[in-house]
């Protein structure tokens, strides 16, 4: 019985969480559609986010492209299909690795920062101070972060894609003597440009997830400094899980069987 | 008969299983300073949050200027809150903004005043709470008393009809306490409005209060002018005022 009780409570909590986060997203969209946007705060947030995440995104994607190429290139050459390596690297990077890696890294960096910042504003009563001044925390704080991520995550993903493919190309060249021309030709023939765009569409969705989950967890913070810590880890864990789930769903819808 | 600014009518508030207020009723007189006293955790801050709609009661109603605010939509509450200043216990200044920007924020967001005029109003308001030339400093760079006063300035900069102060003097030295108490009295006169002050500080309460309400175990157990409360035969009130260990208040 105890177990059932716990499961029951867990389930209602999940629904309450999903409902709360969805409501926050809906409120944000209402402000955006009504063009009640604080542009200054938005550009500040976009800049901050770019600075925070650029180097980690570049490093992680560079090494991922390199290792992917390393594992596939030598074997491909052995089987006599070295000319397919460029395609394999570009294909998987643009569709999956680029958007996913950038999103996971940004969730760990920026999602955590958003939750921590808003959480500490809750415990120091700054959120209530906004409300008592007749200002909406959603408009003042959530919308700028949401817009900043919607714009910046795809940009970071483009850079991640480029760096990852270049890294793969370099390793393929050094370890498997696959020429740059052969790599590029193969990449071009395998990867349609629409797939790149679809990959970027994914990162828009991931940006929304990171901003809304980070903000929601931050705004739900209870219980002082310890609460801020919990909100921060909660935001990262939840956002990363959702990114994986939505990535599967989006790949299924966008790429289907192809 | 004095006008009523706000009325709590048969209000109950619960946090989970914990009952904080039970059938509490209280009138806040317009144009006066009402002090709310009571033990820590009695629900004093919650009363202030009820008065500007930051918290909704579980049952009962809250009226401001005769209008029931418990049934208001969020957009109506936003309009209401613009007429009520709130000075938080720990000031709750936005730490990413300078003092000047903190105080200017409600004017920037709610009025179409030009920047130069806003700047002038901000520095006048800061001066009226005894803070000059701190516009460009950040909250973290100011002392406790200065932060409190900056919080007052932000609460009153839009000339609200009422100001709610949550423990304005707790944890500050006697001189600053005196200055802040004086500031509250002056601000109320300047705005010609209502003030509700939550405080433990008896000396400062005697100095500024027109009315005192004592909150104990979820209800108002005593209400009256300073003299009435000091002469109250209620043993709970007497124990609280004397800070005595013996009496009906469990320790
Ligand atoms: N957000 C909250 N969640 C749970 N309990 C709360 C919350 N806010 C206040 N309480 C509880 O309600 C009671 C009254 O709180 P409060 O109004 O802050 O008291 P006071 O200001 O008189 O010290 C306290 O016991 C406090 O623990
Ligand atoms: Mg309190």
Query: Closest approach of chain B CAs to the CA of A115, in angstroms?
Result: 16
Write down the pTM of the prediction: 0.91
Flag whether B128 is in a domain. Answer: yes
Flag whether B62 is in a domain. Answer: no
Q: Which ranges in chain A belong to alpha helices (H)?
A: 2-33, 39-78, 85-92, 98-106, 112-123, 126-132, 137, 143-176, 180-190, 193-219, 224-255
Residue-wise pLDDT for B125-140, tens only, equals 999 998 989 999 999 9
- The yes-or-no verdict on residue B1 having pLDDT over 60 is no
> Mean pLDDT over all residues of chain A?
93
**Site residues for ligand 1, CB cut-off 6 Å:** B 15, 20, 38, 40-46
Query: Closest approach of chain B CAs to the CA of A12, in angstroms?
Result: 16
Helix (H) or strand (E) holding A179: none
Token readout for A223 is 């219980």
Question: What is the whole-number distance in angstroms between the Cα of residue B40 and the centre of ligand 1?
Answer: 9
Residue-wise pLDDT for A52-81, tens only, equals 899 999 999 999 999 999 988 888 888 988
Tell me the mean pLDDT in the region A206-218: 98
DSSP B186-233: HHHHHHT-EEEEE---HHHHHHH-SEEEEEETTEEEEEE-HHHHHT--
The residue nearest atom 24 of ligand 1, judged by CA position, is B41
Split at pLDDT 50, 70, 90, the class of B2 is confident
Tokens 């144009």 belong to B31
Flag whether B234 is in a domain. Answer: yes
ipTM above 0.85, yes or no: yes
> Residue B166 is part of which domain span?
33-53+83-242
Residue B95 in contact with partner chain A when CB distance is under 8 A: yes
Query: Closest approach of chain A CAs to the CA of B121, in angstroms?
Result: 17
- The yes-or-no verdict on residue B187 having pLDDT over 80 is yes
- The yes-or-no verdict on residue A6 having pLDDT over 80 is no
**Residues of B whose CB is below 8 A from A132:** 52, 54, 81, 84-86
Tell me the mean pLDDT in the region A177-186: 92
Residues A198, A102 contacting (CB under 8 angstroms): no
Flag whether B228 is in a domain. Answer: yes
Higher per-residue pLDDT: A213 or B201:
A213
Express as a percent the part of chain B with pLDDT over 70: 100
Residues 6+ apart with CB under 8 A from B32: B2, B194, B195, B210, B211
Tell me the mean pLDDT in the region B37-49: 95
Tell me the mean pLDDT in the region B184-198: 95
What confidence score (pLDDT) does residue B224 get? Answer: 96
What confidence score (pLDDT) does residue B101 get? Answer: 97
Residues 6+ apart with CB under 8 A from B160: B82, B83, B84, B85, B191, B193
What confidence score (pLDDT) does residue B210 get? Answer: 97
Mutation pick from B86, B107, B151 vs chain A, by most beta carbons of A within 10 Å, is B86
- The yes-or-no verdict on residue B142 having pLDDT over 60 is yes
- What CATH number has the domain bearing residue B219? 3.40.50.300
Q: Which atom of ligand 1 is nearest to the CA of B13?
A: 12
**Residues of A whose CB is below 8 A from B105:** 133, 135
Q: What is the dihedral of CA B192, B194, B197, B201, to 10 degrees?
A: 50
Q: Which of B42, B200, B215 to mutate to test the pocket of ligand 1 (most atoms within 8 A of CB)?
A: B42
Maximum Cα–Cα distance for chain A, whole Å?
A: 70
What confidence score (pLDDT) does residue A13 get? Answer: 87
Beta-bridge mates of residue B4: B29
Tell me the mean pLDDT in the region B53-77: 95
Q: How many CA atoms lie less than 13 Å away from B16 in the CB half-sphere?
A: 0
**Residues of A whose CB is below 8 A from B109:** 133-135
Token readout for B180 is 């802040």
> Mean pLDDT over all residues of chain B?
94
**Residues of A whose CB is below 8 A from B90:** 124-125
Residues A98, B64 contacting (CB under 8 angstroms): no
Express as a percent the part of chain A with pLDDT over 90: 81
Angstrom distance (rounded) from CA A245 to CA A154:
19
The three-state secondary structure class of B38 is strand
Residues B248, B69 contacting (CB under 8 angstroms): no
Q: In what order do the strands lie in the sheet with B162-166?
A: B84-87, B162-166, B194-198, B33-38, B211-216, B219-224
Nearest Cβ partner of B86 from A132, A135, A136? A132
Beta-bridge mates of residue B216: B219
Residues 6+ apart with CB under 8 A from B208: B33, B35, B181, B184, B185, B197
Angstrom distance (rounded) from CA B28 to CA B190:
19
Mutation pick from B15, B46, B94 vs chain A, by most beta carbons of A within 10 Å, is B94
Q: Report the domain count for chain B.
A: 1
Angstrom distance (rounded) from CA A116 to CA A233:
9
Token readout for A95 is 């569709």
Torsion angles phi and psi, residue B162, rounded to 5: -145, 150
Angstrom distance (rounded) from CA B98 to CA A173:
55
Does the beta-carbon distance from A132 to B52 stay under 8 Å? Answer: yes
Residue B159 gets the label, from left (phi > 0), alpha (psi -120 to 50) or beta, of: left
Query: Closest approach of chain B CAs to the CA of A198, in angstroms?
Result: 37
- The yes-or-no verdict on residue A1 having pLDDT over 70 is no
Angstrom distance (rounded) from CA A47 to CA A78:
46
Q: Report the domain count for chain A.
A: 1
What confidence score (pLDDT) does residue A34 get? Answer: 93
Give the chain B residue whose CA is nearest to the CA of A129: B92
What confidence score (pLDDT) does residue A82 get? Answer: 85
Split at pLDDT 50, 70, 90, the class of A50 is confident
Residue B88 in contact with partner chain A when CB distance is under 8 A: yes
Query: Could you tell me the CA-to-CA distances from A200 to A6, A150, A196 in Å, in that order?
Result: 39, 10, 6
Q: Answer positive or negative: Cα dihedral of A187, A188, A192, A194.
A: positive
Tell me the mean pLDDT in the region A181-186: 92
Count of CB atoms situated within 10 Å of the CB of B216:
20
What confidence score (pLDDT) does residue A12 get? Answer: 77
Angstrom distance (rounded) from CA A22 to CA B57:
25
Residues B37, B204 contacting (CB under 8 angstroms): no
Residues 6+ apart with CB under 8 A from A169: A69, A86, A89, A180, A183, A184
Nearest Cβ partner of B81 from A124, A126, A134? A134
């Amino acid at each position: 019985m105890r177990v059932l009780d716990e499961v029951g409570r867990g389930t209602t909590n999940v629904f309450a969480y999903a409902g709360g986060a969805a409501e926050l997203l809906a409120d944000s969209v209402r402000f955006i559609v009504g063009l009640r946007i604080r542009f200054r705060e938005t550009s500040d947030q976009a800049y901050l986010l770019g600075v925070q995440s650029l180097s980690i995104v570049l490093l992680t994607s560079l090494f991922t492209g390199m290792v992917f190429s390393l594992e596939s290139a030598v074997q491909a050459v052995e089987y006599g299909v070295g000319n397919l390596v460029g395609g394999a690297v570009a294909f998987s990077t643009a569709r999956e690795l680029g958007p996913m890696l950038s999103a996971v890294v940004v969730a760990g960096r920026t999602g955590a920062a958003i939750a921590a910042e808003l959480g500490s504003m809750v415990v120091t009563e700054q959120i209530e101070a906004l409300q008592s001044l007749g200002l909406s925390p959603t408009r003042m704080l959530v919308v700028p972060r949401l817009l900043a991520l919607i714009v910046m995550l795809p940009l970071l993903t483009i850079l991640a894609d480029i760096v990852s493919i270049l890294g793969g190309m370099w390793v393929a060249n050094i370890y498997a003597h696959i020429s740059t021309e052969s790599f590029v030709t193969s990449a071009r023939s395998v990867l349609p440009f629409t797939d790149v765009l679809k990959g970027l569409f994914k990162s828009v969705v991931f940006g929304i997830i990171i901003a809304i989950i980070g903000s929601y967890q931050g705004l739900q913070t209870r219980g002082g400094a310890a609460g801020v810590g919990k909100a921060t880890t909660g935001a990262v864990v939840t956002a990363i899980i959702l990114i994986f789930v939505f990535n599967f769903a989006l790949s299924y819808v966008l790429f289907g069987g192809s | 008969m004095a006008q009523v600014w706000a009325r709590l009518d048969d209000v109950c508030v619960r946090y989970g299983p914990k009952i904080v207020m039970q059938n509490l009723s209280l009138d806040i007189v317009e144009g006066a300073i009402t002090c709310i006293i009571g033990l820590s955790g009695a629900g004093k801050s919650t009363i202030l949050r009820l008065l500007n709609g930051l918290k909704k009661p579980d049952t009962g109603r809250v009226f401001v200027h005769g209008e029931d605010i418990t049934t208001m939509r969020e957009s109506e509450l936003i309009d209401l809150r613009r007429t009520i200043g709130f000075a938080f216990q720990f000031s709750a200044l936005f730490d990413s903004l300078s003092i000047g920007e903190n105080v200017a924020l409600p004017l920037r967001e709610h009025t179409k005043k030009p920047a130069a005029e806003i700047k002038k109003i901000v520095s006048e308001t800061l001066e009226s709470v005894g803070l000059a030339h701190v516009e460009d400093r950040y909250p973290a760079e100011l002392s406790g008393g200065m932060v409190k006063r900056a919080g007052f300035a932000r609460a009153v900069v839009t000339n609200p009809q009422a100001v709610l102060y949550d423990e304005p003097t707790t944890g500050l030295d006697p001189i600053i306490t005196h200055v802040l108490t004086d500031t509250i009295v002056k601000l109320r006169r300047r705005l010609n409005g209502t003030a509700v002050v939550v405080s433990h500080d008896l000396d400062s309460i005697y100095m500024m209060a027109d009315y005192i309400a004592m909150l104990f175990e979820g209800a108002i157990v005593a209400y009256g002018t300073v003299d009435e409360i000091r002469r109250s035969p209620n043993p709970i009130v007497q124990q609280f005022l004397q800070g005595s260990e013996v009496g009906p208040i469990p320790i």
